[in-house]
Amino acid sequence: MSLQKPDWLRIRVRGEAERAQVEKLLAKLSLNTVCEEANCPNLCECFGRKVATFMILGNSCTRNCTFCNVSKGTPEAVNPEEPAAVAQAVAELGLKHVVITSVTRDDLPDGGASHFAAVVREIHKLPSGVTVEVLIPDFRGDPEALKTVVEAGPEVINHNVETVPRLYPEVRPMAVYQRSLELIKRVKEMEPRILTKSGIMVGLGETEGEVLEVMRDLKEAGCDFLTVGQYLAPSRRHHPVAEYVHPLVFQKYRDAALETGFKYVASAPLVRSSYRAEEALTVANRDDKI
């Protein structure tokens, strides 16, 4: 039996005109956003603010995570014109901070790392000084692929652990928890100036103690920013929601994460990995100047 969604997860629809403008531009440039593919609950708000998380390398994933709404299937050929198209969209939308993510492309020799790097370089060519956050897959633990992205110089590298290690066989059967931690650690070893970020969903069947342990693991790996949000099952075919976590618990998680030493924490039911991502960078830059 499915759980009844509580009042605090009700979303007020707004920004329809701005959303239509963003969607028109994305269609013109043949671009995907994770906002649409993952059925994000904040889509209207973010599109209304002319903010989008661009999803490169097609819209078919090679992995089988049970929480995700992105399509699984035969991946598309890599589009060499995509980096320039993303940069054009960033310029036309007047973005100051942009998030770039992708489906997981285990079919590619470098997992798509060189394409990520090309997108970052194209955006950094823009005259407006746009900052870039990349939300990357694990590249199957390949340090050379990760190095390719690091050397492109994104301001933030994000890689989500998604859930607690006990639930990986059910939720992320093709991923490895320790491999994800190692990725974050390697970023800091390769380039300490790059800010690192990760996120976790709750409501999948984890305990509070397990969430706190993940926080400690991430901080030990050198993670700077953390997001915590409520898991919402995209359909009955996906992993079921085990619990709708109360907002007071999210506040507890935020307090605990800040005490653990994260530079920035976003923890609330509707928080997603790239939600208001520019705020984290603003906070980190402000604190570095103090």
78: CATH: 3.20.20.70
* pLDDT value, residue 1: 52
Residue 211 tokens read as: 């969430």
Residue 170 tokens read as: 């059910």
Strands (E) across 45-91 are located at 53-56, 60-61, 71-72
**Structural domain total, the chain:** 1
- What residues make up the domain containing 222? 7-289
- Whether residue 189 is contained in a domain is answered as yes
Nearest to 49 by CA among 97, 8, 9, 86: 97
* pLDDT value, residue 35: 47
Q: Report the C-alpha gap between 60 and 1 in whole angstroms.
A: 30
- Whether residue 2 is contained in a domain is answered as no
* pLDDT value, residue 94: 82
- Whether residue 174 is contained in a domain is answered as yes
Q: What is the pTM of this model?
A: 0.88
Residue 207 tokens read as: 């305990």
| Ordered per-residue pLDDT tens for the chain, 290 residues | 567 788 777 765 555 555 566 667 666 666 665 544 445 555 555 555 556 678 899 887 776 776 676 667 788 899 999 999 999 988 888 888 889 999 889 999 999 999 999 999 999 999 888 899 999 999 999 999 999 999 999 999 999 999 999 999 999 988 999 999 999 999 999 999 999 999 999 999 999 999 999 999 999 999 999 999 999 887 788 888 999 999 999 999 999 999 999 999 999 998 988 777 788 888 887 776 55
- Whether residue 183 is contained in a domain is answered as yes
* pLDDT value, residue 37: 46
- Whether residue 1 is contained in a domain is answered as no
Question: How buried is residue 245: exposed, middle or buried, by Cβ count under 10 Å (0-12/13-18/19+)?
Answer: buried
Sign of CA dihedral 94, 99, 104, 107: positive
Residue type, 158: N
Q: Report the C-alpha gap between 225 and 263 in whole angstroms.
A: 6
